[in-house]
Amino acid sequence: RALSLAMAIQKRKAVAKSPGQLFNKRSRGGAASSSSSKSQAKEEKQEPHAEEQEAEENHEAEEEEAEGVDEGQEEEAEEEESEEDRLKREEEETSAARKKELKAMPVADLKELAAGKGLDTGKKEDMVTAVLAHEAQARAAQRAHKAKIREVLVKKKEELESLSAPELKDLCVAAGAKGMMAKPARVELLLKQWQDDDGVDKAIAQLARDAREAELVAMDKVALQKLCNKSGVECFVKEVIVERIVKDESAKGCFARPSLVEDEDEEAAQPASKSGKKAGDMVEALLANEANRKREREQKKQEEDAAASKRKEFRAMSMEELKKLISAKGKEATGKKEDLVEAAFAISVQEDAAAAKKAKLKSMDIDKLKQRLASKGLPTGKKEAMIATWLAHEAKIKEAAQAWEFKVGEVLEKKRAELEEKTASELKELCAAKSLKLGVGKQ
C-alpha cells in the first residue's frame, strides 16, 4: 500500500507539472520560431545584396583576366615583331635622334656638313631634310649589300650540298685536294676556295648585273634607244641594246668594287717627258734627283710638324669640346680623350684633303675638267658647278667603298670564326689541300 500511495503521489505531481512545462515549452517554441522567421527574413533581404556583390566581384575578375590576356597578347606581339618592322622601328629611332642632333647644329656647321656630302645648301630645314635623306639612303644601301652577301653565301653552300659525292670529289681533285673526305668537309673546302678566289665579290657583281639586265629588258625600245645614245652605244634590237648597255656599264666598273681613280701625278710624269731628251751628263741627273729628294724630305717634315701641331691643339681642348666638335661633323664621339683627339685629327685631315682637292680642281683647265666629268657620265656646265659635281661623285664612291669594305670584313670575320671552330687535324687537311705550309700551332 505504501508503494502504491507513493506512486499515486508521483503521478499527481507529474500531471500537475506537465501543463506548466508544456505551456512554457510552447511559449519558448513560439519565440524561437518568431526569431527564426525574423532571421530568415533578414537573410532573404541580405541575399540579393550578396548576389549583387558576388556578381560585381565576378565581373571585376573577368575584366582583370581580359586585361591580363590583352597584356599577354601585346607582349607576344612585341616578341613576335617581324624583322621588317624591327628595321623600320630602328630606322625611325635613328632618324629621329639624328634630326634632333642636326637641328641643334649651328647653321654654318650644317652647311659645311651638307657641302661635304655633295648636297645643296639653303634654309636650315631643307638642309636637315637633305642630310637625313642622304644618310638614310646610305644606311639602306648598306643593309641591302649585307643581305646580298648573305644570299650569295647561302646560295653557294646549297649549290655545293646539292652535288653528289663523285661530283664533289672531282671538284676537290681539280682544286688540288686528294684523299678521303666526308661530304661536309668537301663542301667546306670548296666554299673556302671559292671565297679565296673573290667568289663573294664576283657573285654580288653578277647579281647586280642580272638585276640591271632585267631592268633594261623591262624598258621599252624608245627608252633603251635614248639610253644607248647617251652612252654612245650602237643598237639594233632590244636584246642587243640590253647586252651592250650592261657590257658598257661593266667596263666602267659599275658592278665592281667601288674605287676612286687617283689623279695623275703631273710632277711624276715630268721625268718621263724629259726622258726623250739626250742622255746628257750623269752628274746633272744625279743633282736633279738629289734636289727632288730634298724637296720630298722637306715636304714630309712640314706635314709631320703640321700634324703634331694639330694634335697638340686638340689635346688642349676639353672632353666636352672634343665631343661637340666630332658630333658636329656627323661622327660618333666615344672613348677616352686620346681616342677623341685622334678622331678629331682624322676629321681635320679629311677636311684638309678635301680643301686641297677643291683647290686643285679650281686650278685645273676647264676643258680638262669637262673631259674628266664626261668620262664618268657626269653633266658639265660652269666650272664651280662641275667642281661640286665631281666632289659629290667622289664622296658617293667613298661611302660605297666603305660599305663594301665593312661587308667584306663581316664575311671574313664569319669565316675566321668557322675556321677557329675546327680541330687542328681538320685545319691541317685544309692546308694540305691548298698546298699551304703547315704552321706549328692552330693559329
Q: What pLDDT, on the 0 to 100 scale, is given for residue 416?
A: 83
DSSP string, 205-253: HHHHHHHHHHHHHHS-HHHHHHHHHHHT---SSHHHHHHHHHHHHHHTT
Q: Which three cell numbers stand for residue 51?
A: 548576389
From CA 317, how far away is CA 334, in angstroms rounded?
15
Residues 245-263: pLDDT tens digits?
888 877 777 777 766 654 4
Look at residue 165 and tell me whether its pLDDT is greater than 60. yes
pLDDT over 70 for what percent of the chain?
72
Sign of the alpha-carbon dihedral angle for 39, 40, 45, 47: positive
Structure confidence at residue 238 as a pLDDT band (50, 70, 90): confident
Per the document, the length of the chain is: 443
Tell me the C-alpha distance between 282 and 286, whole Å: 6
Q: What CA–CA distance (Å, rounded) separates 399 from 191? A: 29
How many CB atoms are located within 10 Å of the residue 5 CB?
A: 9
Q: How much is the average pLDDT of 99-120?
A: 86
> Using one digit for the tens of pLDDT, what is the confidence trace for 172-196?
888 888 888 888 888 888 888 888 8
Q: pLDDT per residue over 302-319, tens digit each?
A: 878 888 888 888 888 888
Measured CA to CA, the distance from residue 280 to residue 440 in angstroms comes to 57
Q: pLDDT tens digits for 130-162?
A: 889 988 988 888 888 888 888 888 888 888 889
Round to whole Å and give the CA distance between 11 and 13. 5
Identify the CA nearest to 134 among candidates 426, 392, 312: 392
pLDDT digits (tens, 9 = 90+) for 36-79: 444 444 444 445 555 556 556 665 656 655 555 455 555 554 45
Residue 236 in this model has a pLDDT that exceeds 80: no
Q: SS3 for 441? A: coil
Cell of 230: 647617251
DSSP code, position 330: T
Q: Does 381 have pLDDT greater than 50?
A: yes
Q: Are 176 and 227 in contact (CB under 8 A)?
A: no
Residue, of 387 and 8, whose pLDDT is higher:
387
Residue 203 has pLDDT above 50, yes or no: yes
CA 417 from chain centre, in angstroms, equals 20
**DSSP one-letter code for 264:** P
Which whole-number Å values give the CA distances from 333 to 4, 102, 323, in the listed order?
126, 15, 5
Q: How many CB atoms lie within 10 A of CB 156?
A: 18
Q: Looking at residue 263, what is its pLDDT?
A: 47
Q: Is-contact 132 102, C-beta < 8 A?
A: yes
Q: What is the pLDDT of residue 23?
A: 45
Question: 357: how many CB neighbours lie within 10 A of its CB?
Answer: 15
The distance from CA 408 to its chain's CA centroid, rounded to whole angstroms, is 14
Residue 384 in grid coordinates: 664651280
The highest-confidence range among 126-140, 223-237, 272-286, by mean pLDDT, is 126-140
- Region 278-292 average pLDDT: 62
Measured CA distances, 189 to 174, 201, 395 (Å): 12, 18, 39
Mean residue pLDDT across the chain? 75
Residue 221 pLDDT greater than 50, yes or no? yes
Do 102 and 108 contact (CB within 8 A), yes or no?
no
Element (H, E) at 432: helix 424-433
Euclidean distance between CA atoms 118 and 215, whole angstroms: 27
Q: Is 422 left (phi over 0), alpha (psi -120 to 50) or beta?
A: beta
Q: Is the dihedral of CA 369, 374, 378, 379 positive or negative?
A: positive
40, three cell numbers: 530568415
* Residue 428 exposed, middle or buried by CB count within 10 Å (0-12, 13-18, 19+): middle
- Contact call for residues 344 and 314 (beta carbons, < 8 A): yes
DSSP 93-155: HHHHHHHHHHHTS-HHHHHHHHHHTT----SHHHHHHHHHHHHHHHHHHHHHHHHHHHHHHHH
Q: What gap in Å lies between CA 119 and CA 124, rounded to an integer? A: 13
Q: In terms of pTM, does the model score above 0.75? A: no
Structure confidence by residue, pLDDT tens digits, 420-432: 888 877 877 888 7
Q: Return the number of other C-beta atoms located less than 10 Å from residue 193's C-beta.
A: 19
